[in-house]
């Protein structure tokens, strides 16, 4: 008895109600293989996989994939939009003030008052976005002990 195979990118696109194209499959796989990629890097990755694709087509596909929840868009203040394949969980990001690298960090557990609005003003809140800013290990001044 074999265990069921995980869904392919094409299966996920179909399941989300999107038309399956080689470019969309390549885009989804590029985002998932990357690390908080910008649009130019995603376009280059798609071109490596399927050949020519316009930047406009990349933007349109990213918009469609974001709308159906297969890709997540993040845009730290002062930075261009970046995209990630880690979706469906509540995680946050660390951003380096110097080089701009972005890394995932799991949500704080326990008492985390910053994740609950003191007054939701009638909003049905379904997500909180937290960005931690600082210097990554490569940009931090060397510590001498």
Does 139 count as an annotated binding residue? yes
Does 99 count as an annotated binding residue? yes
Does 96 count as an annotated binding residue? yes
Distance CA 31, CA 82 (A): 10
Does 114 count as an annotated binding residue? no
**Cβ contact 30:84 at 8 Å:** no
Residues in the chain: 145
Q: Is 51 left (phi over 0), alpha (psi -120 to 50) or beta?
A: left
Distance CA 39, CA 61 (A): 11
Strands, E assignment, 39-130: 72-74, 82-84, 91-96, 102-106
Annotated binding site: 96, 99, 136, 139
Q: Could you list the residues known to form a binding site for Zn(2+), using ranges.
A: 96, 99, 136, 139
């Amino acid at each position: 008895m074999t265990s069921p195979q995980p869904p392919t990118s094409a299966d996920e696109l179909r399941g989300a109600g999107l038309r399956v194209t080689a470019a969309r499959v390549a885009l989804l796989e590029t985002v998932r293989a990357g690390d908080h990629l910008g649009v130019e890097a995603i376009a280059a990755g798609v071109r490596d996989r399927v050949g020519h694709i316009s930047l406009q087509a990349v933007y349109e596909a990213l918009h469609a994939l974001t709308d159906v929840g297969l890709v997540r868009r993040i845009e730290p203040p002062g930075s261009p939009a970046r995209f990630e394949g880690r979706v469906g969980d509540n995680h946050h990001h660390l951003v380096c003030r110097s080089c701009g690298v972005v890394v995932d960090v799991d949500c704080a557990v326990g008492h985390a008052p910053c994740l609950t609005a003191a007054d939701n003003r009638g909003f049905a809140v379904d997500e909180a976005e937290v960005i931690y800013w600082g210097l990554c290990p490569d940009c931090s001044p060397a510590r001498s002990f």
